[in-house]
A and B are shown apart, each in its own frame.
Chain A
Amino acid sequence: MIRSEIFREIAPVLRDRLVVCNIGIPSQELYAIDDQPTNFYMLGTMGLASSIGLGLALSQPKPVVAIDGDGSVLTNLGTLATIANNVADNFILLIIDNGSYGSTGDQPTYAGARTSLARVAEACGCERVVECRGEATRDALEDALASGEMTIIVCKCDSGNAKMPVITMDPVTIRDRFMAAVAD
């Protein structure tokens, strides 16, 4: 199961939730599959989806789902320590771990080799860490939302991208409609 197939399965769960989506093909796929004003698309800045999501979760009461990638988490690994030490129970970090840098040509990441991001998250002090297969992502996400506890989901799935157009929406438009949805 590849990321875009997972997105199609979880889109109904994400629809009314605040979502911060990682740079590159993940944002393009989510935008094409189910664009919502409650989605914040990153157009740049690899690695900061989880940080933006945590800042958002700590600043308002609605649940926040940050969708990140294994490569992006590896580039900002300290984020897992920050998340663990600043608990926001309305925060879910969903790491789509396909073992590759998907947006740049599927080069392998260390998460697809010897490194377990779930175990790194646990070692950082995250208390609710769930590792699942792509097929189980929807259930894991629904469980996490129902738990009311900060959850890190590491979804192990296959490498591969759907061919989707680049997002041409202006960043200020993305930000403005997202902030209106946050405040709504």
Chain B
Amino acid sequence: MVEDINVRIVDDLVANGVTLITTVPCKQLAEVIREVEYREGVLHIPSNKEDEGMGLCAGAFMGGRRAAIIMQNTAVGVTINALTTLIQYYRIPLPMLISYRGGLGEPVACQVEMAVHTEALLAELNIPTFHFRRTADVEDLDKILKFTFMCNKPVAILSHTSFWGGY
């Protein structure tokens, strides 16, 4: 039984040694970002843009930390160059918790425009991609994080609106 997914997500990140988390906000991520901000032992660095955040994570990793990024799926469009020429090229592990807008129930038409490309882009980049559709899917997070730091790759967790409790 999952009591609070936002607490649980940050608990699992911390349990896997993640101590620096960069975020770019999304309405659906507001609560988990709040949890990151106030969690003891986690350095929260908000980024202005997601590729900047990936630079921060790469530097943190080389400095001996484990880092993660939390962002919206529109960021997949922003970060393709950083993902390929920095994170993948230098083999840096990077868990990416991504809010996946533009699905069933979406009220904002423009969100669908990026949603239709999100999974294809991740597949094209050979980025291992996991889906959180229901609350119970958070149970996989611990294993996904261990997988990420085992294989030194960027790994996407597409968290659907249904996971966050709807619009």
Mark A residues whose CB is within 8 Å of B: 20, 40, 42-45, 47-60, 76, 78-79, 81-82, 86, 171-172, 174-175, 178-179, 182-183
Query: Once the chains bind, are B62 and A182 in contact (CB under 8 Å)?
Result: yes
The interface-forming segment of B9-17, B63-71, B105-113, B129-137 is B63-71
Query: Once the chains bind, are A55 and B85 in contact (CB under 8 Å)?
Result: no
> With A58-B43, A59-B20, A59-B65 known to touch, is A47 a contact of B51 (CB < 8 Å)?
yes
Contact of B45 among A82, A171, A178 (CB under 8 A): A82
Query: Once the chains bind, are A48 and B52 in contact (CB under 8 Å)?
Result: yes
The size of the chain B interface, using a CB distance under 8 A, is 32
- How distant is the Cα of A182 from the Cα of B65 in the complex, in angstroms? 12
- How distant is the Cα of A169 from the Cα of B158 in the complex, in angstroms? 35
B34 on the A face (CB < 8 A): no
- Report the minimal beta-carbon distance from B94 to chain A, rounded to whole angstroms: 12
- How distant is the Cα of A183 from the Cα of B61 in the complex, in angstroms? 12
Query: Once the chains bind, are A178 and B55 in contact (CB under 8 Å)?
Result: no
- How distant is the Cα of A50 from the Cα of B49 in the complex, in angstroms? 14
- How distant is the Cα of A17 from the Cα of B14 in the complex, in angstroms? 30
Closest CB pairs A-B (n = 9): A55-B59, A51-B55, A44-B85, A59-B63, A78-B48, A48-B55, A56-B59, A55-B56, A52-B59
- How distant is the Cα of A78 from the Cα of B49 in the complex, in angstroms? 8
Contact of A172 among B53, B55, B86, B90 (CB under 8 A): B90
- How distant is the Cα of A122 from the Cα of B146 in the complex, in angstroms? 41
Query: Once the chains bind, are A175 and B91 in contact (CB under 8 Å)?
Result: yes
- How distant is the Cα of A136 from the Cα of B57 in the complex, in angstroms? 33
- How distant is the Cα of A72 from the Cα of B81 in the complex, in angstroms? 14
- How distant is the Cα of A49 from the Cα of B62 in the complex, in angstroms? 13
Q: What chain B residues lie within 8 Å of A172 (beta carbons)? A: 90-91
Q: What chain B residues lie within 8 Å of A86 (beta carbons)? A: 45
- Report the minimal beta-carbon distance from B18 to chain A, rounded to whole angstroms: 12
Q: What chain B residues lie within 8 Å of A47 (beta carbons)? A: 51-52, 55
- How distant is the Cα of A46 from the Cα of B57 in the complex, in angstroms? 16
Contact of B59 among A43, A53, A76, A183 (CB under 8 A): A53
Query: Once the chains bind, are B62 and A58 in contact (CB under 8 Å)?
Result: no
CB-nearest residue of chain B to A179: B62
- How distant is the Cα of A174 from the Cα of B85 in the complex, in angstroms? 14
Contact of B62 among A40, A48, A51, A82 (CB under 8 A): A40
Query: Once the chains bind, are A55 and B20 in contact (CB under 8 Å)?
Result: yes
Contact of A48 among B20, B54, B60, B61 (CB under 8 A): B54
Q: What chain A residues lie within 8 Å of B89 (beta carbons)? A: 43-44, 171
B98 on the A face (CB < 8 A): no
Contact of A59 among B47, B64, B90 (CB under 8 A): B64
Contact of A45 among B43, B53, B57, B86 (CB under 8 A): B86
Q: What chain A residues lie within 8 Å of B43 (beta carbons)? A: 58
- How distant is the Cα of A127 from the Cα of B19 in the complex, in angstroms? 26
Query: Once the chains bind, are B63 and A51 in contact (CB under 8 Å)?
Result: no
Query: Once the chains bind, are B62 and A178 in contact (CB under 8 Å)?
Result: yes
- How distant is the Cα of A50 from the Cα of B89 in the complex, in angstroms? 18
Contact of A60 among B54, B64, B67 (CB under 8 A): B64
Query: Once the chains bind, are B60 and A56 in contact (CB under 8 Å)?
Result: yes
Q: A51-B58, A52-B59, A55-B60 are in contact. List 15 more A-B contacts (CB 8 A).
A: A43-B89, A45-B85, A47-B55, A48-B54, A51-B55, A55-B45, A55-B56, A55-B63, A56-B63, A60-B63, A78-B49, A81-B48, A82-B52, A82-B56, A171-B89
